[in-house]
Amino acid sequence: MCGIFGGVGRPEEEARVREAVRRLTHRGPDAEGVERHPHPLGEVWLGFRRLAIQDCSPRGNQPMADATGRWRIVFNGEIYNFRELRRELEGHGDPFRTGTDTEVLLAAWIRWGPAALERLVGMFAFAVLDTLTGEVALARDRLGIKPLYYHTTPRRLVFASEVKAMLAVSGVERRLDPLAAARFFTFLWVPGPDTLLEGVRQVEPGTWLQVGADGALRAHRYWEVPLPGTDGIAASPPPSPAEAADRLEALLQEAVRVRLVSDVPLGAFLSGGVDSSLVVALMRRASGERVTTHTVLFPRADAGWHIEEDDAPWARRVRDHFGDGVAYHEHTLEPGMADLLPRMVWHQDDPVADPAALAAWLICAAARPTTTVLLAGMGAEELFAGYPR
């Protein structure tokens, strides 16, 4: 992941802008960039922390400009169909200087404007500045995989990948939203677009925000969940179980295939459950290469305290099934988890009362020295009704 930060409106101290970007270092340890541009309301500043995944050379650093210098972009995420989009844009005569999806995304926005969002396959949160008109666009992917927060006052808009970055600049205050707090204690998380802080909101999934040169803010919904009878989708009879299974397998295979485009090492979480095991199997099928996997174990002395059984026996069955086809790694969660809580609170900004976040953080930290990107089965429970409740 990467981290983006920026603002439109009255000027801000350079030290505060640099501090805001510094607070996103954990999202992007490979490079940093900060730019400031004049604006009718004062100035625009754009900040970025990079985790290099495609074209790891300095050419891929951000903020990134187009060849004319008129347009600027900061972008967190991945556009999985960027190669197909690049070929189409090259057919229109658009030149490219890097091998990044960032440059393709910027070129797509310049050519097609907001209509480019409908063409994107991926996860993203980005900001595009038109230095000629002073307009800024903020956009978030269809399901809100990548975070994007913002805060407005009469003379300024501030946005960032994480709330903590926004708190570094003046005018963004730490005021608890009582209604959001009540919702947290009800649902154990804060439903968007609200956050626990009054005045700090999320760009909603499937939405882009248009920030005019006069500071006016307009929200545009570009995607909704397609349902039968809406958006031209016919309410046709359901497929047979066999037809549905074949279609689902094809969709899952394609989803995994496009995510294997990377210039850095890829791997997968492996719990031994249906979803993560299937992801590993589809990675093997798509690439034909050895898949690096990472599994969490609990200490033997702690086993009696856990409601669910350990993942290890099931993950090892997947390892044995694929043999040399996987490079299998186990990571034991040692005592001292409570010591990690302050750090988790800092990372999450808005808390999520799910202890799985602790395990996820630890396994990612253990995998980082050898694996930059991990595929996971996240979301399968929600899509396929896997939770008892």
**What residues are labeled active site?**
2
Backbone angles phi, psi at 133, to 5 degrees: -95, -20
Integer Cα distance of 41 and 133 in angstroms? 12
Total residue count of the chain as it appears in this document:
389
* Residues near 121 by beta carbon (within 8 Å), at least 6 away in sequence: 79, 80, 81, 258
- Of the candidates 41, 21, 15, 3, the residue with the CA atom closest to the CA atom of residue 157: 41
Q: What is the largest CA-CA distance in the chain?
A: 64
Specify the DSSP element, H or E, that contains 138.
strand 136-140
241 burial class (0-12, 13-18, 19+ CB within 10 angstroms)? exposed
What secondary structure, in 3-state letters, does 189-214 show?
A: CCCCCCCCECCEEECCCCEEEEECCC
Please name which of 326, 215, 310, 242 lies closest in space to residue 272, comparing C-alpha atoms.
310
Considering only CA atoms, which of 356, 360, 346 is closest in space to residue 162?
346
Residues facing 36 on adjacent strands: 45
The SS3 assignment for 1 reads coil
